[in-house]
Amino acid sequence: MTTRLQIESIGQIRRAEIDFGDLTVFVGPQATGKSIALQVLKLLVDTGYIQDELSRHGIDWGGGVSEFFDSYFGQGMHALWKPDASRLHWESSSIDMDAIAKRRRKSKPESLFFIPAQRVLTLRDGWPRPFTDYAPGDPFVVRQFSERLRLLMERDFTPDRAIFPQERQLKKEVRDLLNKTIFGNFSLRVDKHLSQKRLMLGPEGGNGGLPFMVWSAGQREFMPLLLGFYWLMPPTKVARRDDIEWVVIEEPEMGLHTQAISTVLLMVLELLHRGYKVCLSTHSPYVLDVVWALKMLKRHRSEKDLLLAIFDVPKGTQVDRVAESALKKDTKVYYFDRVSGQVKDISNLDPGAIDEAEAGWGGLSEFSGRVADVVAKAVARGE
């Protein structure tokens, strides 16, 4: 069954009609509504859970839509909702936002796990911050993600146990790629400075290490993402978290080299293999390179070895089933247009399409194409 979200006049979005696939990717310039749409998805999937969490941490929004939006999206975000124009439809139902704000929905376990773009803020001095460490007007998705990481660290990791590499977490081929592209033969572990626990990077089996603030920018961006993947991939025979159906990852490429982005996308395919529906927002053409390859390989009924070659992984490994599963998944891509406020379906990613948004992959391939044209002209003039 198709899962559909329709948005009218919320923030920068004038109109969006989004049919979600197994993997759904949002592209477009900054401040065009991608994050708003993903947070709306979270709100509609987890309404009762969100209300319970806000109340549990002492947040009282008073029953009005404006106050509720400031509590959920962040301070000052009440202007997203225009009472005379804003509309929401989820699947086949119209959403009464006034009713959501005024009364508590029947609570159920969390169904959507949200990894926000601001994830680096969740580690203060190398340790996840609790929900209550944030200001009341900070976005719910940032606070909740931080709280999830804190609980994971407190429950599952101790100073005598490496967080990475760890045989029980991630497939060997993925660990090897992460070691090559991000860790550089360093290990990630829990250390204690005086009485405070913190994450440290250091030589495997060695003494000492590097605290959070001297890590590279890419390492600081990646570690909360890695912990999010750990939470979603239990090191047990159970493939996924029982109640979680959706995963949202904003800008998975943040701060990473191309080779590291490739490895992160292989981890995203692992999430699909485990049965999660995954939504990404991105500013990286490399993400759409993989989505386009998935579509083309699926269309031509290609074997898994071609997909594995994209990630520099040989066949005959633990990743084989991940590749087989990925080639059966449906992918969707949507472009958020700044000028019109419309959200366009560009899922075909056809470079020859009449629509410039689709032909240019939402602007992500536009600059490379322009550079190639200029260089071609220069070569022609010099001949």
Cβ pair 6, 17 in contact under 8 A: yes
pLDDT at 1 over 60: no
CA atoms within 13 A on the CB side of 35: 19
Name the more confident of 17 and 358.
17
Question: Which helix (H) or strand (E) segment is 376 a member of?
Answer: helix 366-382
Alpha carbon distance 171, 104 (integer Å):
42
Contacts (Cβ under 8 Å, ≥6 apart) of 341: 12, 13, 14, 15, 33
Q: What is the pTM of this model?
A: 0.94
pLDDT at 115 over 90: yes
Alpha carbon distance 355, 342 (integer Å):
13
Summarised one tens digit per residue, pLDDT across range 130-152 is 999 999 889 999 999 999 999 99
Residue 63's pLDDT is 82
Six token digits for residue 219: 């390492």
Residue 196's pLDDT is 82
**Which one, of 209, 169, 167, 168, lies nearest residue 190 by Cα?**
209
Name the more confident of 1 and 160.
160
* CA max distance for the chain: 73
Summarised one tens digit per residue, pLDDT across range 282-309 is 999 999 999 999 999 999 888 899 999 9
Nearest-5° Cα angle at 184, 182 to 186: 105
Residue 235's pLDDT is 80
The confidence band for 253, taking pLDDT boundaries of 50, 70 and 90, is: very high
Alpha carbon distance 103, 235 (integer Å):
39
Alpha carbon distance 71, 8 (integer Å):
21
Residue 54's pLDDT is 92
Alpha carbon distance 88, 224 (integer Å):
32
Domains in the chain, start-ordered, CATH in brackets? 3-149+238-349 (3.40.50), 351-383 (no CATH)
The confidence band for 369, taking pLDDT boundaries of 50, 70 and 90, is: low
**Which residue type, as a one-letter code, is found at position 336?**
F
Name the more confident of 203 and 34.
34
How buried is 56 (Cβ within 10 angstroms: 0-12 exposed, 13-18 middle, 19+ buried)? exposed
Eight-class DSSP state of 237: S
Decide the pairing of beta strands 343-345 and 331-336.
antiparallel
Cβ pair 341, 15 in contact under 8 A: yes
**Which one, of 328, 6, 317, lies nearest residue 172 by Cα?**
317
Mean pLDDT of the chain: 90
Residue 301's pLDDT is 87
Summarised one tens digit per residue, pLDDT across range 102-112 is 866 667 899 99
Six token digits for residue 139: 């976005």
Cβ neighbour number for residue 339 with a 10 Å cutoff = 7
Alpha carbon distance 233, 144 (integer Å):
18
Residue 107's pLDDT is 75
pLDDT at 6 over 60: yes
Strands (E), 150-257: 162-164, 186-193, 196-203, 246-250
**Which one, of 365, 344, 325, 357, lies nearest residue 23 by Cα?**
325
